[in-house]
C-alpha cells in the first residue's frame, strides 16, 4: 500500500511552546490530507481536512488558531500546535488518499505530551 | 443513532479461532468501506478495502459488505496472538472524510 510518513513520532514540550508535526506522502501525491486526534482507548476524531494550496477545513469545535495546518506541497502537510497546553496532549495522526481509489492511508502517528 | 456502530468489545478468543468483527451503518451514501488494524501507540494500518457488496478475501482476512442491510464484517481465520489489536471499521461517501466506528479490541490468547 501507499506510504505516509509522520515526524516526530513522539514529542515532549513545555506549556506555552509551539510544536510542528510533519506528514509526508512518500510514494504518491496527495492533494488532500486529513488530520486526526485520538485519545486513549477511543476512536479517531477528525480535526481538519488539509488541501494543497488552500486553507484547511476545520471540523466543528476545532480551534483553527490553535491547530495551524499548512499543505504547502502535494507531498507535505504540517500541523502546528500553538501555545500548547497539557490538555493538547494527545496522539495526532495524519492520513492521505492517493486519489485514484477510495483508500486512505495513515501515518504512524505523533504522540504529543505537554508538560 | 450514530452513523457507524461498532461493538467496542473487548473480544477474547483462543489462538486458531475464527474471529468475526462487525459494523452497521445508517448512511446509504457510503460507498467505500475499510477495515483498519491499530496496535497500541501506532497509526491505523489498512487491512481491507472494498466498494461493492459481497466478499473480498486477502490471506486470512475476509471482508464482507451487505449494502442492502447496511452491514459490514471482517473475518479473521486461524487467528494468531499477533492479531491482538484494535480493529476499526471506516467508511465514507465519495469525496468526503472517513467515518470511523469506535473500534473493537481483540485479544487472541495463545
Q: Kindly give the confidence (pLDDT) of every residue in chain A, 115 residues in length, as a single tens digit, with 9 standing for 90 and above.
A: 689 999 999 999 999 999 999 999 998 898 889 999 999 888 899 999 998 888 899 999 999 999 999 998 999 999 999 999 999 999 999 999 887 667 889 999 999 999 9
Beta-carbon separation of B101 and A44 below 8 A: no
Suggest the residue from B4, B6, B29, B44 to mutate for an interface test with chain A (most A CBs closer than 10 A). Answer: B44
Neighbours of A33 (CB within 10 A): 29
| Structure confidence by residue, pLDDT tens digits, B77-91 | 999 999 999 999 999
Q: In chain A, what residues touch B40 (CB-CB under 8 Å)?
A: none
Contact A43 B94 (CB under 8 A): no
With CA atoms as reference, report the closest residue to B67 among B55, B57, B59, B78: B55
Q: What per-residue confidence (pLDDT) applies to A100?
A: 61
CA–CA gap between residue A53 and residue A46 (Å, rounded):
20
A58 and B CB contact within 8 Å: no
Above pLDDT 90, what percent of chain B?
A: 84
Nearest to B48 by CA among B37, A22, B40: B37
Tell me how far apart the alpha carbons of residues B13 and B106 are, in angstroms, rounded to a whole number. Answer: 8
How many Å apart are CA A23 and CA A4, to the nearest integer? 7
d(CA A88, CA A83): 10
For residues A94 and A105, the answer to whether their CB atoms sit within 8 Å is: no
Phi, psi for residue B44 in degrees, rounded to 5: -65, 140
pLDDT at B75: 97
The mean pLDDT of B38-50, rounded to a whole number, is 93
Specify the pLDDT at position A101. Answer: 67
State the cell numbers at A80. Answer: 502546528
Q: What is the DSSP letter of A55?
A: -
* Three-state SS at B58: strand
Q: Is the pLDDT of residue B1 over 70?
A: no
Provide the terminal-to-terminal Cα distance of chain B, rounded to the nearest Å: 37
Cβ <8 Å between B41 and A111: yes
Instruction: Provide, rounded to the nearest whole percent, the portion of chain B with pLDDT above 70.
Output: 99
Instruction: Examine the pLDDT at B43 and tell me if it is beyond 90.
Output: yes
Is it true that the peptide bond before A95 is cis, omega within 30 degrees of 0?
no
A91 CB within 8 Å of a chain B CB: yes
B109 interface with A at CB cutoff 8 Å: no
- Subunit contact A44:B45, Cβ cutoff 8 A: no
Q: Of B42, B46, B100, which is closest to A43 when you measure between CB atoms?
A: B100
Amino acid at each position: 500500500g501507499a506510504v505516509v510518513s509522520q515526524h516526530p513520532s513522539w514529542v515532549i514540550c513545555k506549556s506555552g511552546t509551539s510544536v510542528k508535526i510533519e506528514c509526508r506522502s512518500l510514494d504518491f501525491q496527495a492533494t488532500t490530507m486529513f488530520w486526526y486526534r485520538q485519545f486513549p482507548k477511543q476512536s479517531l476524531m477528525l480535526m481538519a481536512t488539509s488541501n494543497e494550496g488552500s486553507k484547511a477545513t476545520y471540523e466543528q469545535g476545532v480551534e483553527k488558531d490553535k491547530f495551524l495546518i499548512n499543505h504547502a506541497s502535494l507531498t507535505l502537510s504540517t500541523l502546528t500546535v500553538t501555545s500548547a497546553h497539557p490538555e493538547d496532549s494527545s496522539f495526532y495522526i495524519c492520513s492521505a488518499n492517493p486519489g485514484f481509489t477510495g483508500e486512505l492511508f495513515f501515518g504512524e502517528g505523533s504522540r504529543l505530551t505537554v508538560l | 443513532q450514530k452513523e457507524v456502530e461498532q461493538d467496542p468489545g473487548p473480544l477474547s478468543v483462543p489462538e486458531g479461532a475464527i474471529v468475526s468483527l462487525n459494523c452497521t451503518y445508517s448512511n446509504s451514501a457510503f460507498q467505500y468501506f475499510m477495515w483498519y488494524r491499530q496496535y497500541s501507540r501506532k497509526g491505523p494500518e489498512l487491512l481491507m478495502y472494498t466498494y461493492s457488496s459481497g466478499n473480498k478475501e486477502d490471506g486470512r482476512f475476509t471482508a464482507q459488505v451487505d449494502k442492502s442491510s447496511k452491514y459490514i464484517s471482517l473475518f479473521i481465520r486461524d487467528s494468531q496472538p499477533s492479531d491482538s489489536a484494535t480493529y476499526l471499521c471506516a467508511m465514507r461517501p465519495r469525496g468526503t472524510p472517513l467515518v470511523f466506528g469506535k473500534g473493537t479490541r481483540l485479544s487472541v490468547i495463545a
